[in-house]
Chain A
Amino acid sequence: MTVNNSIELEDVNVWFGEGVKRVDAVLDASFAVEQGGSFGLVGESGSGKSTILKAITGLAGNWQGKINIMGKPLGETRTDEFYKSVQMVFQDPYASLHPRHTVDHVLSETLSLHKFDNIDERIVKVLNEVGLGQSFRFRYPHQLSGGQRQRVAIARALILEPSILLLDEPTSALDVSVQAEILNLLTDLREELNLTYLMVSHDLAVVGHMCSNVAVMNLGKIVELLTIEDMRAHKTEHPYTRELFEASL
């Protein structure tokens, strides 16, 4: 294994429940994302794609296998340092922001938890980075549109200056025109800040636009790893991948 990979997974299993109620959500998943790369996970609901992201951040309890982040293996507990370098953007901006916290509150809380200084300056900077500007700083989520909320969610993730962003369907709750704005923003940010993206989406066109490598998941297993060129040329091996492609195109 090379050190240049930001994220490495080797034979990762994730399950929920114990005994007879045990459900295996992810089975022997292995893949690697290089530093500054962008990797997509596609599949239907229940295929385990979001669960992989949750296992990385520690939101899914039981997992086994090896997860290396920036060359360091993940243990039972995650350190502050881990959360400084790995941040997640969730699917639904209507659900992921606290309805009674202002944008300023959301951002400053994150900063003070991680003992950052210059909180004021950092908030000003990150709001400009995500294209919101200062007028949004003291607004509540209900005063923002869906696209603006997702920008706040991205700002919240970016304010810790992470090197890896986990994106869980970041645009599926948004209109296509707003989706275009958010995807363009993510493209810019990856370039400017040299971020690594691990993106989950059910939309092949979105993944095709954002990522260079893709893993196709079905029933908890990664059935195929594809480069984006293969995907465009429809060079797929697995019958499930073909079925998925036919349904979406």
Chain B
Amino acid sequence: METLLEVDNLKVTFPTRTGNFEAVRDISFSLGRERLGIVGESGSGKSITGRSILRLIQKPGIVEAKQIALHGENLLDFTERQMRKVRGHRISMVMQDPKFSLNPVMKIGAQIIEGYRLHKNISKAEARIATLEMLEAVLIRDPERVFDAYPHEMSGGMGQRIMIAMMLIPGPEILIADEPTSALDVTVQKEVLEIMDKLVRERGMGLIFISHDLHLVSSFCDRVLIMYGGRIVETCQADRLHEAKHPYTRGLLNSMPILDQPKKYLEVLSRDDTWRDQLSVSGNK
């Protein structure tokens, strides 16, 4: 399989009063036309990894890597101007909560068109047609109405579908989805994931799916990286997640309540300090 994105020895540091905090410590992975899951608890560095690919880490954060290569071009060498052409156009990102990622005072259609026309040299009328088609593709029943509506008139599930539409319309090769469904209800979550899955497959895109939910990731992705303390502690095929060996992954799996297996106490994850010191596992295919 062809490699879209290659991340080599990524390291993200935040200087603090008590010394440098290393949020991501020397991780390497690659992404082909597949669905790659990154799981871990809060503070494991999974979101920072997603953001540093798009160079969205703000100062004073420092991003270092041997390379973050998109089709062999190192994104770290790009100027801010060149980066703007990458963001949205070649790699785009869906964030957790649509309430905070959509502009509340702009109609939905206008928001989608604004982003689209930055990347494509087309007329407003053409952009409007493409936008309505895209809204239909994310299974919005009445695209005309939604086009002229404001974000607050939408439910969470609709909002996230609009975000997906907005992110996919310029035709990026890679989509980074950072907890795209954790603000949604389970039934809606399933719908949104199905839409995202279908579009990513049809377009042959690469997907990085960042989530804290092990079950969700194992049912949705092809390959999974498990992060702990800024490192990748284990990588496996998603359908074999239940065979995972690392004590951290096992601990996470065991600490979840399961409906069919009642027990009085849930297993509590006991953390081992040596996990932090182990070197990262390579996430290359």
Q: Which residues of A contact B (CB under 8 A)?
A: 44-45, 146, 175-181, 183-184, 187, 202, 204-206, 208-209, 228, 231-232, 243-244, 247-249
A202 and B185 contact, CB distance less than 8 A: yes
A183 and B266 contact, CB distance less than 8 A: yes
Kindly state the separation between the CA atoms of A127 and B156 in the bound complex, as whole angstroms. 38
B186 and A248 contact, CB distance less than 8 A: yes
A206 and B257 contact, CB distance less than 8 A: yes
Given contacts A176-B212, A177-B268, A247-B190, contact A183 B252 (CB under 8 A): no
B residues 256-282 near A (Cβ < 8 Å) are: 256-260, 262, 264-269
Kindly state the separation between the CA atoms of A21 and B212 in the bound complex, as whole angstroms. 39
For A205, the chain B residues whose CB sits under 8 A away are 256-259
A176 and B256 contact, CB distance less than 8 A: yes
Give the interface centre of A177, A184, A204, A205 by most chain B CB atoms within 10 Å: A177
Kindly state the separation between the CA atoms of A249 and B258 in the bound complex, as whole angstroms. 9
Q: Does B30 reach chain A (CB closer than 8 Å)? A: no
A175 and B41 contact, CB distance less than 8 A: yes
For A232, the chain B residues whose CB sits under 8 A away are 259-260, 262
Kindly state the separation between the CA atoms of A228 and B252 in the bound complex, as whole angstroms. 24
A247 and B186 contact, CB distance less than 8 A: yes
Q: Does B255 reach chain A (CB closer than 8 Å)? A: yes
B266 and A184 contact, CB distance less than 8 A: yes
Kindly state the separation between the CA atoms of A208 and B258 in the bound complex, as whole angstroms. 8
Pick 6 A–B contacts, CB within 8 A, sort by A: A45-B156, A176-B252, A180-B269, A187-B264, A202-B185, A209-B257
Q: Could you list 20 further interchain pairs (A-B, Cβ under 8 angstroms) beyond the known A180-B269, A209-B262, A247-B189?
A: A45-B156, A146-B42, A175-B42, A176-B214, A176-B256, A177-B255, A177-B269, A179-B256, A179-B266, A180-B255, A187-B264, A204-B259, A205-B257, A208-B257, A209-B259, A209-B266, A231-B259, A244-B186, A244-B187, A247-B190
Closest Cβ neighbor of B254 among chain A residues:
A180
Give the interface centre of B187, B188, B252 by most chain A CB atoms within 10 Å: B187
Kindly state the separation between the CA atoms of A205 and B186 in the bound complex, as whole angstroms. 12
Kindly state the separation between the CA atoms of A45 and B186 in the bound complex, as whole angstroms. 10
Encode contact with A along B236-256: 1 for CB under 8 Å, 0 otherwise. Answer: 000000000000000110011
B268 and A184 contact, CB distance less than 8 A: yes
Please classify how large the interface on chain B is, using the bins under 10, 10 to 19, 20 to 34, 35 or more: 20 to 34
Closest Cβ neighbor of A172 among chain B residues:
B182
Report A140 CB to chain B, min CB distance, Å: 17
User: By DSSP majority rule, is chain B's interface helix, strand, loop, or mixed?
Assistant: loop
Q: Which residues of B contact A (CB under 8 A)?
A: 41-42, 156, 185-190, 212, 214, 251-252, 255-260, 262, 264-269
Q: Which of B156, B187, B264 is A243 in contact with, Cβ under 8 Å?
A: B187
B259 and A181 contact, CB distance less than 8 A: no
A177 and B190 contact, CB distance less than 8 A: no
A187 and B259 contact, CB distance less than 8 A: no
Q: Which of A44, A180, A184 is B187 in contact with, Cβ under 8 Å?
A: A44
For A187, the chain B residues whose CB sits under 8 A away are 264-265
Kindly state the separation between the CA atoms of A183 and B255 in the bound complex, as whole angstroms. 10
Kindly state the separation between the CA atoms of A209 and B264 in the bound complex, as whole angstroms. 8
Kindly state the separation between the CA atoms of A56 and B185 in the bound complex, as whole angstroms. 24
Closest Cβ neighbor of B183 among chain A residues:
A45
Report A237 CB to chain B, min CB distance, Å: 18
Kindly state the separation between the CA atoms of A184 and B190 in the bound complex, as whole angstroms. 29
For B190, the chain A residues whose CB sits under 8 A away are 247
Closest Cβ neighbor of A229 among chain B residues:
B262
For A175, the chain B residues whose CB sits under 8 A away are 41-42, 212
For A248, the chain B residues whose CB sits under 8 A away are 186
A208 and B187 contact, CB distance less than 8 A: no
For B268, the chain A residues whose CB sits under 8 A away are 177, 180-181, 184
For B260, the chain A residues whose CB sits under 8 A away are 232
B185 and A44 contact, CB distance less than 8 A: yes
Closest Cβ neighbor of A204 among chain B residues:
B259
Give the interface centre of B189, B257, B260, B264 by most chain A CB atoms within 10 Å: B257
For A244, the chain B residues whose CB sits under 8 A away are 186-187
For B259, the chain A residues whose CB sits under 8 A away are 204-205, 208-209, 231-232, 249
